[in-house]
Amino acid sequence: MGLGKLAVNDRKDGFTLDGRPWFWLADTCWGAFTSIELSDWEYYLARRAEQGINVLQINTLPQWDRCRPDLGIYPYASEDGTVFDWSAPNEAYWERAREMCRMAVEHGIRPALVLLWCNYIPGTWGSMIAQKLGAPVMPLDEIRSHIERVVRHLGEFDPVYVVTGDTDFKSDEAIRYYEEGLSAVCELAPNALRCMHINRANRTIPERFIDRLDFYMYQPGHNYEGQSEAWKLPEDFRASYPQKPLLNSEPCYEQMGASRNVYWRFTAQDCRASAWSGILSGAAAGLTYGAHGVWNWQTAQSKGSVLGEGFDMPFRWQECLQFPGVWDYGMVPHVLNSLTEGGLHAVVPAQELLDDAREAIRVARVGDRVVAYLPRTTALKLHGSFADMEAVAFDLEDKRVAHLPMRVDTQTGMTRVEQHPFGHDALVILKPAAH
Residue 308 has what pLDDT? 66
Residue 132 has what pLDDT? 87
Smallest Cα–Cα separation from 256: which of 199, 201, 325, 329?
Answer: 325
Can you list the alpha helix ranges (DSSP code H) found in 67-116?
91-106
Residue 305 has what pLDDT? 67
Is the pTM higher than 0.85? The answer reads yes
Task: Verify cis geometry, omega within 30 degrees of 0, for the bond prior to 432.
Answer: no
- For residues 251, 255, 258, 262, the Cα torsion angle rounded to the nearest 10 degrees is 170
Q: Are 210 and 242 in contact (CB under 8 A)?
A: yes
* pLDDT tens, residue order, the chain (435 aa): 689 999 999 999 999 999 999 999 999 999 999 999 999 999 999 999 999 999 999 999 999 999 999 999 999 999 999 999 999 999 999 999 999 999 999 999 999 999 999 999 999 999 999 988 888 899 999 999 999 999 999 999 999 999 999 999 999 999 999 999 999 999 999 999 999 999 999 999 999 999 999 999 999 999 999 999 999 999 999 999 999 999 999 999 999 999 888 899 999 999 999 999 999 999 999 999 999 999 999 999 998 665 667 789 999 999 999 999 999 999 999 999 999 999 999 999 999 999 988 899 999 999 999 999 999 999 999 999 999 999 999 999 999 999 999 999 988 999 999 999 999 999 999 999 985
Could you give the C-alpha distances from 390 to 76, 393, 411, 429, in angstroms and in order? 60, 10, 20, 8
Residue 404 has what pLDDT? 98
Residue 346 has what pLDDT? 98
Residue 310 has what pLDDT? 75
Smallest Cα–Cα separation from 279: which of 243, 239, 245, 248?
Answer: 248
End-to-end CA distance of the chain: 47
Residue 434 has what pLDDT? 81
Smallest Cα–Cα separation from 99: which of 153, 161, 172?
Answer: 153
Indicate the DSSP class of residue 139: P
Q: List the domains of the chain with CATH numbers.
A: 6-339 (3.20.20.80), 350-432 (2.60.40.1180)
